Amino acid sequence: MNISKIDLNLLIYLDVLLREKNVTRAASQLNITQPAMSNGLKRLRTLFNDPILVRTSDGMVPTERARSLAPSIRKILLELEEALQGEEEFNELNSQRVFRIMASDYAASTLIPTLLRALNKVAPNITLDIMTPSDVTFHDVEAGKIDMAINRFDELPQSFHQKAIWRDSFSCLLSADSPLVSKFNLNAYLDAKHVWVSKTGFGVGVGMDPKDVQKLGWVDEALARLGKKRDIKVFTRNYHVAMQLAYEDNLIATLPTKAAQLHKNDSNYTIVKPPFEIPDIELKMIWSPLLHHDASHIWFRQLVIAAALKCQENI
């Protein structure tokens, strides 16, 4: 195969087709007509002497050859786009750029206020667009549609750049009127009712099974190592809901400490140390290799890290 005779647009078509697995959606994403995309698929089949996508009862499915090509094609396109990005100066004072950030409400409520105060001082015309984990996919970040994602991640694609924001311990948030405050030990913790809260990674959440300890996360895994289990009354993916339920329904919310500290000056709440050891969590920011050398993005990443250090000082 002579590379000089290959239309590089076909590689872009192939990349999108393998992600969308649908000719119409792929055409829409590339802003071309469906017949043009269908013709592109036909040319790809000729180029690789392979069907590429095969229609089944479950829709269009990539062939084994196509699946093996996908990582290499994605890597080639990412490197090409990065190489073509030109150097340019960034003037934050006059910039009207919009930075799109995927952040869990834990990250958003603990970090973003400090970040926004910093932005107002040095870049008053920049706008933040905060999105939830359910709004974003790995592909959105990889393609540079989202400037960065800030959350706790169990697994990440190797192509992503990442930086630790901070490590956080756990605290228990209780109503100040709770009778548990005066006798807060492990037995009291286990006898009480709890609100579970967590949201890691990307995508739409799934229903929780109280019996599936491995999916319940850090707190319940720590208890399981002691041979114990807590009584979870409510499952939520929203930290503010969990904190409100701790006050209104006399539940215990075991949260990352920085989230619990949002109520440190609220007389309705009491913050106490958990009566057992829970490993710290790590908050990270991740971004696409397409944005890694972008001047505005470099500046913004530095501002995020500075805001995170400021948050650390205030705890």
pLDDT for res 207: 55
Q: E strand or H helix at 98, and its extent? A: strand 98-103
Cβ neighbour number for residue 26 with a 10 Å cutoff: 26
| Largest CA-CA distance found in the chain, in angstroms, rounded | 78
pLDDT tens for 9-29 read 888 889 889 888 899 988 888
Q: Which of 56-60, 166-170, 213-217 has the lowest mean pLDDT?
A: 213-217
pLDDT tens for 99-145 read 999 998 899 999 999 999 999 999 999 999 999 988 888 888 888 88
Which sign does the torsion angle of CA 165, 107, 113, 149 carry? positive
Which residues are CB-neighbours of 2 under 8 A, at least 6 positions away? none
pLDDT for res 265: 93
pLDDT for res 208: 59
Sorting pLDDT into bands at 50, 70 and 90, what band is 277?
very high
Sheet of strand 161-168: strand arrangement: 127-131, 98-103, 148-151, 281-287, 161-168
Which residues are CB-neighbours of 95 under 8 A, at least 6 positions away? 123, 125, 126, 296
Residue 4, pLDDT above cutoff 80: no
CATH topology match: 3-84 vs 98-167+282-314? no
Tell me how far apart the alpha carbons of residues 170 and 64 are, in angstroms, rounded to a whole number: 45
pLDDT for res 98: 95
Residue 210, pLDDT above cutoff 70: no
Q: Could you tell me which CATH class the domain 3-84 is placed in? A: mainly alpha
Residue 200, pLDDT above cutoff 70: no
Residues in the chain: 315
**For the chain, percent of residues with pLDDT exceeding 70:** 90
> Dihedral (C-alpha) 48, 10, 17, 59: value to the nearest 10 degrees?
-50
Which conformational region is residue 49 in: left (phi greater than 0), alpha (psi within -120 to 50 degrees), or beta? left
Residue ranges per domain, the chain?
Answer: 3-84, 98-167+282-314, 170-279
CATH of domain 170-279: 3.40.190.10
Tell me how far apart the alpha carbons of residues 311 and 280 are, in angstroms, rounded to a whole number: 17
Q: 220, 213 in Cβ contact below 8 A? A: yes
Tell me how far apart the alpha carbons of residues 28 and 10 are, in angstroms, rounded to a whole number: 16
pLDDT for res 269: 95
Q: E strand or H helix at 284, and its extent? A: strand 281-287
Tell me how far apart the alpha carbons of residues 2 and 96 are, in angstroms, rounded to a whole number: 45
Pick 79 or 195 by higher pLDDT: 195
Sorting pLDDT into bands at 50, 70 and 90, what band is 214?
low
User: Tokens standing for 261?
Assistant: 């500290």
Look-up of token digits 């994403």: 29
Q: 134, 203 in Cβ contact below 8 A? A: yes
Domain covering 98-167+282-314 assigned CATH 3.10.690.10 in the classification: no
pLDDT tens for 290-304 read 888 888 999 999 999
Average pLDDT value over all residues in the chain: 87
Q: How far is CA 204 from CA 192, 199, 220, in A?
A: 30, 10, 22
User: Is the full-model pTM beyond 0.85?
Assistant: no
